[in-house]
Structure 1
Amino acid sequence: MVSAPMAGWSGGGLAGAVSAAGALGMIGVGSATPVGWIPEQAKLARGRGPFGFGLMSWVLESRPELLEAVLAEEPAAVSLSFGDPAPFVGRVREAGAITMSQVQDAGKAEAAVGAGVDVLVAQGTDAGGHTGQVGTLPLLQRVLEIGERAGKPVLAAGGIGTGRGIAGVLAMGASGAWIGTRFCATVESTGTDEAKRLILQADETATVHTRVFDLVQDIPWPEEFAGRAIRNSFSDRWHGHEARLVEQRSSVSAGFEAARGDYSEDFVYSGQAAGLIDDLPPAGELVDRMMAETEARLRACGALLGGRPC
C-alpha cells in the first residue's frame, strides 16, 4: 500500500505515519512548493520507515531545483508523473531511489517503460486531483499486460478506498494499491478541517472532472490532465464554459482568490472513493484496518477456489 503524494494534503507527518504502519508514505510536492519546505517535511517523516516524494514532470522542466532538493533527503522512492519522466529517471537512479510514474493510458505506460521507470502506477479517472480519462479497471488491465511484458511491477490507483478494493486489484495482478482520497480523510493529512468534512459528506457522485480550477488560477497544467474535485458553485457555473472563463479570467480570478477557504467557490480535489469514507482516523490505524480487510477478502477469494490461493 502506498499513500499517494497529494500536494496540499500529503506532508511528512502523514507520510511518516503511513510508513510507520508498514506501508509506503509519499510526500506531495506542488508546482509552487518552496524548496525549503522539502527538508522540513522529510524531517517529519524520517526515522519512521522508508518514504518517498511525488513530483510533476511538467513542473521539473522549469523548476529542476525541486528534484535536487528531494534527492538530498535520500528518499526510498520518487514518483515522476504528469509529463515525460525520461529526463529525470537517470538522476533519481544515481541517487539510489526507486522511480515510479503514474500513467493514465497505455501510451503513457509504454513511454514510462521506455524511460526506464521502475514501477508503473495505473491511475484511473476515478482518482482525485489530476488524472486522465480512462477508468481504473480497464486501464489496470492494459497496464498489467504492459508491465508483465516489461518485467515491471504495477500499482493500481483511483477509486480504491477499502480493503475490498485493494484485494480486488491484487487479485487482478497488481503488486499493490496507490491510495489518495482515503488518506486525505485522516488526522495527519494537512487539508483543512472543512475540506476533510466535505470529503466525509461526499458520495461517489459528488465529483466533477474539470479544468476550471486550473484555468482560473492560470496554472499551466497540460490540457490532457483535468482535475477531479467535489462539485461546487464555481464548477457548476464554469464547467463546460472554459473558453468564456479564460476570456474573463482577470475579473473571475479576483473573486476566486477573495473566496479562498469558502468551498462553495474554492476547490477540494477528491476521487470517487469519497463515497466510501465515513470517518477520520489516524493514518496508522487506517493502514492496519485496510490491510486486515484486504487479508479477509483474499482469504474469502481463496475459499471460492476450494481453499486454494486466490
Structure 2
Amino acid sequence: MPEFPVNASPIQQSLNPLQQILGYTEPIFNASMAGAAGGALAAAVSAAGGFGMLGIGGNATKEWIDNEAALAASSGRGWGAGLMAWVLAKNLEPLEQVLDHGPSFVCISFGEPGPAASLAHESGALVGMQVGNAAELSRALEDDIDVVICRGNEGGGHGRNEVSTLPLLQLALERTGKPVIAAGGLATAAGVAAVLGAGASAAWIGTRFAAATESTSHRNIKDSIGAAGLDDTVYTRAFDIAQRIDWPVQYGGRALRNDFSDTWAENLEALGAAVKADDSLTTSINGARAEGDTSLAPVYAGQSAGLSTTGQSAAEIIADLSRFRSLLRQAASRWDTK
C-alpha cells in the first residue's frame, strides 16, 4: 500500500489522499474505455483538472500503445491506463509497454490481477481494480490493490450485472479504508455529489466521456449516445459471441439496444450456432463497427446515456461536473439542524 501524504500544506489539506498522490484537483476520472478513451481524451481530462485514463483493448498493437500513451502524457499531468486481467494472463507485454511511458495509476480488472499488479507496483504506479460484486470486492481488499473501483451494473461496457452502484459503494466504504471510486450510472454534477457525499474519493465516468469531442468513438456512436434515453440499454454477451471475442462469460456488456441486440440478445444459443456455422455474421458486425453502423455494431453505453449529450469537450464536461461542490454545500445547509 502507498504512503499517503502527511504534514500537508493548507491547499493540500483540502484534497483527499488519492488527489494528493495522483495530483488532480477535480475528483473525476474518465473510464478507461477501450475504443473511446484514447490518448487525446486522457490528456484533455487531465489538463482540465481531472484524471485522464487510457483504455487498452485486447487487440492494441505496440505502435498504438506507444502513440496513445505518449499523447496521454502530453498534458504534463498525471494519467493512468486500464487493462484487462484476462488478456494480461496470456501476455504481460501490453502492460510492460504502457509502463514504459510512466503512468501513475494502472487499473487491472476482469480477472485475477496478481502478476500484473506486482509488475505495475514495481514501476511505482498505484494499482486499482474494478469490482462488480462482493466476491470481487474481497479480492480487491488484498494488499496488492491500492484503489477500489466499485462498478455498478448501470455502467456501460463490460462488467458484471449483479449489483448496482450505491449498494456496492456502501459495502466497500464499510469494509475498507482504501480509496474507493464510484462507477456506473454517473453523468451529472448531482451524481458526482451523491457518491462523493457518501464517501467515495472520486467518480469514474464513462458514457458521457465516450461522447466527448476528444473520444475516439465513431461520430455515429456519439450521436447514438446523445439521442438515447435511460431505458435504452441492454446487458448481453451477444456482441462478443458474434465477434468471437473471448471475454469471460461472467462479463457481459451493457450497450444501446439496436437491431442486432433485438434479434440476438435473448437467443444466445442460436447465435452461437450461427457464428459457428459460418463467418458471415462475424464479418457483418466487424464491418459495421468499422463503418459506424449502429444498427449492428455495439454502442457500449450505460444507463447514463439518457443524461449525456454530444458535442462537448472534456473540459466542458469537467466544468459541468465540478458543480458538485455547490450541490454538496446546498445539501449540507439544507439538512444541517444545528
TM-score category of the 2 structures, normalised to the smaller one: over 0.9
Q: Deviation at 1:307?
A: 8.2
State yes or no: 1:21 paired with 2:48.
yes
The residue number in structure 2 matching 1:122 is 150
Q: Distance in 1 between matches of 2:100 and 2:337?
A: 48
Write the deviation string for residues 201-225 of structure 1: whole angstroms up to 9, x where unpaired.
Answer: 0011111000000001111101111
The residue number in structure 2 matching 1:83 is 111
Q: Distance in 2 between matches of 1:182 and 1:219?
A: 25
Write the deviation string for residues 111-167 of structure 1: whole angstroms up to 9, x where unpaired.
Answer: 1222520000000010000011211111111122222xxx21100000000110010
Q: Deviation at 1:70?
A: 1.0
Q: Deviation at 1:45?
A: 2.1
The residue number in structure 1 matching 2:253 is 227
Write the deviation string for residues 50-84 of structure 1: whole angstroms up to 9, x where unpaired.
Answer: 00110000000112100100111110100001101
SS in 2 for 1:178: strand
Moved more, 296-305 or 48-57: 296-305
**Pair 247,143 (structure 1): closer, same or farther in 2 beyond 3 Å:** same
**Pair 279,219 (structure 1): closer, same or farther in 2 beyond 3 Å:** closer
Q: 8 Å contact 1:3–1:18 — kept in the other structure?
A: yes
**Pair 93,246 (structure 1): closer, same or farther in 2 beyond 3 Å:** same
Q: 8 Å contact 2:151–2:183 — kept in the other structure?
A: yes
Q: Distance in 1 between matches of 2:315 and 2:287?
A: 36
Q: 8 Å contact 2:107–2:130 — kept in the other structure?
A: yes
Match of 1:34 among 50, 61, 65: 61
State yes or no: 1:132 paired with 2:163.
no
Q: Distance in 2 between matches of 1:157 and 1:233?
A: 28
Q: Distance in 2 between matches of 1:30 and 1:254?
A: 19
Q: Unpaired segments of 5 or more residues in structure 1?
A: none
SS in 2 for 1:259: helix
RMSD: 1.3
Q: Distance in 2 between matches of 1:255 and 1:23?
A: 38
State yes or no: 1:300 paired with 2:330.
yes
State yes or no: 1:277 paired with 2:304.
no
SS in 1 for 2:296: coil
Q: 8 Å contact 2:256–2:299 — kept in the other structure?
A: yes
The residue number in structure 2 matching 1:8 is 35
Q: Deviation at 1:258?
A: 4.1
Please tell me the residue identity of whatever aligns with 1:105: N
Q: TM-score, normalised by structure 2?
A: 0.87
Q: Distance in 2 between matches of 1:276 and 1:11?
A: 22
Write the deviation string for residues 168-209 of structure 1: whole angstroms up to 9, x where unpaired.
Answer: 001111111001001011110110111100000001111100
Moved more, 43-52 or 67-76: 43-52
Q: 8 Å contact 2:92–2:116 — kept in the other structure?
A: no
Please tell me the residue identity of whatever aligns with 1:54: G
How many pairs does the alignment contain? Answer: 304
The residue number in structure 1 matching 2:174 is 145
Please tell me the residue identity of whatever aligns with 2:147: V
SS in 2 for 1:263: coil
Q: Unpaired segments of 5 or more residues in structure 2?
A: 1-27
Q: Deviation at 1:105?
A: 0.7
Q: Distance in 2 between matches of 1:241 and 1:194?
A: 26
Counterparts of residues 30-109 of structure 1 (less than 5 Å): 30-48=57-75, 49-109=77-137
Q: Distance in 1 between matches of 2:321 and 2:288?
A: 36
Sequence identity percentage: 43
Q: Distance in 2 between matches of 1:298 and 1:258?
A: 46
